Structure 1
Amino acid sequence: MTGQTIGNAVAVRDNGPGALVAQHRADLELVMPSHLQKRVGAWIRTTQGLLRRDEKLLEAAQNDPGQFMSVLLDAARLGLEPGTEQYHLVPRWNRKKRCTEITGVRGYQGEIELMYRAGAVSSVIVEVAREKDQFEYEPGIDERPRHKVDWDLDLEQRGGLRLVYAYAVMKDGATSKVVVLNRGHIAKARAKSDSANGKYPERSPWATDEEAMWLKTAAHRLTKWVPTSAEYIREQLRAKADVNAERQPAPLPTGPLPQPFDSSEPDDEDDAIDAEFVDDEGEVRS
């Protein structure tokens, strides 16, 4: 370990961004989904490890600790792991501040995780089609794309990236809307990316893993048509609350309760009803 690396590790541990993450453990845990709260310690240590291994990432976090924590809180709220295919941490050049800062980029596995966590889908399919692959899909006619791959070919022989598609199979067996994007669609998405067009484009996931970003773009488009965890759970809870409200018994009346009827008291004569009685002989008497 070099002297500079040791210095960075000490900064992370004692008073740097790594220590800041540990100090805000309660805040991170508060916004995390319940399944992630059980391993918040490991989540924090993973984030600290990223800072120790990446000097540019550490520098960007030190330049604006508030922005750094904002990004981590976003990842925690979504229940995603920073520094993985779920959620990328990337240095971004801020022109106004004239320095780098941390930005968060949701990965394709993160998009898929949110769809699964919602509970409405049984499977999510996100795939790229390369130049030598066979791909057919006619909207309104085909329920799902037909994608054939010659698995005897290696990746280079299959050719470059041509298309990316995504769809979900819902719990009831229905197929969601199918998203199909070509190179033109991907180019437009990349042009809008801060990480791909910043001071360090080589650090962007668009440069380090282009195929993953194709997959992410398609998965993100699919979230417009498939429930993600936050919106779906809110709707489910709201519907459940409405059903429970309908099932609640009617409220008890307020004020004094009516007095019970006492059969020992004689009826009011004014309430008597004139009637004819028939005796055993069949004669009528009043």
Structure 2
Amino acid sequence: MTDSPISNALATRDNGPGALVAQHRGDIELVMPSHMQKRVGAWIRTTQGLLRRDEKLLKAAQNDPGQFMAVLLDAARLGLEPGTEQYYLVPRWNNKKRHTEVTGVRGYQGEIELMYRAGAVSSVIVEVVYENDQFEYRPGRDERPLHEIDWDAEDRGKLRLAYAYAVMKDGATSKVVVLNRGHIAKARAKSDSADKDWSPWNTDTEAMWLKTAAHRLTKWVPTSAEYIREQLRAHADVAAEQVLATAALPQPLLEDDEVVEGEFVDEDEVA
């Protein structure tokens, strides 16, 4: 008896990348931040849905399942949603392997999420400026940019600038990052897939301008991983100082302030 087309389809599906994601649920959950672990099932189903909807992504995952899982584990470790503006899943041509493979690209929402998660900021502002917008910012004079938009305008013109800054928990403003077209062009040039039709640089240009500004801001604002490490290091330093301080204190006398005096013993008197 031969297998039916439906049985063959199920077998193919069960052996494909979608099934691989489910099989590695334990590994994915292990590297996820604790606040994400409760929804690991939804995270996996979302990823499987992406594969069903995008044939190019599915093919790339089939070409190199190991690379595909490495990308997913990176997204899971960061606590970001794959296939969203937090973390893009992109099929990219690998010249050495001569096939497409899945690569991960952190999006601007992902960069912002990591800043918020660190707990040092109260808000993060990342925006793009179009030619017909009004934008003014002078470092040393202005604490924050002044950006005015005519929301009734049908056409705001071409992309002109991208900027980002954070308001810290104490109310202070972080460094303000402002990038022009030249800065964006240099960032784009570093991407070996920017000229491909499927690249986020072409499918979601504004988002990539935002991502570039947000990523540049991470040099001045702590993100979750580094902030947690600094906090742990600070706690360890405080604990070490407390131990040293305790060791340096004068040792207390014995109970009832009793002092035990030493006595020399003549060796000749010892039997």
Pairwise same-fold verdict (TM > 0.5): yes
For residue 170 of structure 2, what is the aligned residue in structure 1? 172
Deviations 1:97-121 (A, max 9, x none): 1100000011100000000000000
For residue 118 of structure 1, what is the aligned residue in structure 2? 118
Q: Is the 8 A contact 1:86 1:111 kept in 2?
A: yes
Deviations 1:231-253 (A, max 9, x none): 001111221233244446947xx
Q: Is the 8 A contact 1:8 1:52 kept in 2?
A: no
CA distance in 1 between counterparts of 2:254 and 2:234 reads 38
The structural deviation recorded for 1:204 is 1.2
CA distance in 2 between counterparts of 1:43 and 1:121 reads 26
Question: In structure 2, what residue type is equivalent to 1:179?
Answer: V
For residue 63 of structure 1, what is the aligned residue in structure 2? 63
CA distance in 1 between counterparts of 2:199 and 2:56 reads 13
1:187 and 2:188 correspond? no
For residue 11 of structure 1, what is the aligned residue in structure 2? 12
For residue 133 of structure 1, what is the aligned residue in structure 2? 133
3-state DSSP class of the match of 1:158? coil
The structural deviation recorded for 1:194 is 2.8
For residue 209 of structure 1, what is the aligned residue in structure 2? 204
Question: In structure 1, what residue type is equivalent to 2:12?
Answer: A
Q: Is the 8 A contact 1:8 1:55 kept in 2?
A: no
1:231 and 2:232 correspond? no
Structure 1 pair 247/58, CA: closer, same or farther in 2 (3 Å)? same
Structure 1 pair 179/196, CA: closer, same or farther in 2 (3 Å)? same
Structure 1 pair 77/8, CA: closer, same or farther in 2 (3 Å)? farther
Question: In structure 2, what residue type is equivalent to 1:172?
Answer: D
1:220 and 2:215 correspond? yes
The structural deviation recorded for 1:208 is 1.2
Question: In structure 2, what residue type is equivalent to 1:237?
Answer: L
Structure 1: stretches of 5+ with no match in the other structure: 252-256, 263-286
Deviations 1:17-56 (A, max 9, x none): 1111111111111111001111111111111111111111
Question: In structure 2, what residue type is equivalent to 1:34?
Answer: S
CA distance in 2 between counterparts of 1:237 and 1:205 reads 36
1:85 and 2:85 correspond? yes
Highest CA radius of gyration, 1 or 2?
Answer: 1
For residue 150 of structure 2, what is the aligned residue in structure 1? 150
Structure 1 pair 172/92, CA: closer, same or farther in 2 (3 Å)? same
3-state DSSP class of the match of 1:237? helix
Give me the TM-score of the superposition, normalised by structure 2: 0.85
Structure 1 pair 258/175, CA: closer, same or farther in 2 (3 Å)? closer
Q: Is the 8 A contact 1:9 1:52 kept in 2?
A: no
Structure 1 pair 150/258, CA: closer, same or farther in 2 (3 Å)? closer
Structure 1 pair 94/111, CA: closer, same or farther in 2 (3 Å)? same
% identical equivalent positions: 80
Structure-to-structure mapping, 1:34-113, within 5 angstroms: 34-113=34-113
The structural deviation recorded for 1:88 is 0.4
For residue 280 of structure 1, what is the aligned residue in structure 2? none
Deviations 1:45-72 (A, max 9, x none): 1111111111111110111111111101
Q: Is the 8 A contact 1:120 1:171 kept in 2?
A: yes
CA distance in 2 between counterparts of 1:6 and 1:210 reads 42
Give me the TM-score of the superposition, normalised by structure 1: 0.81
Structure 1 pair 151/259, CA: closer, same or farther in 2 (3 Å)? closer
Question: In structure 1, what residue type is equivalent to 2:49?
Answer: G
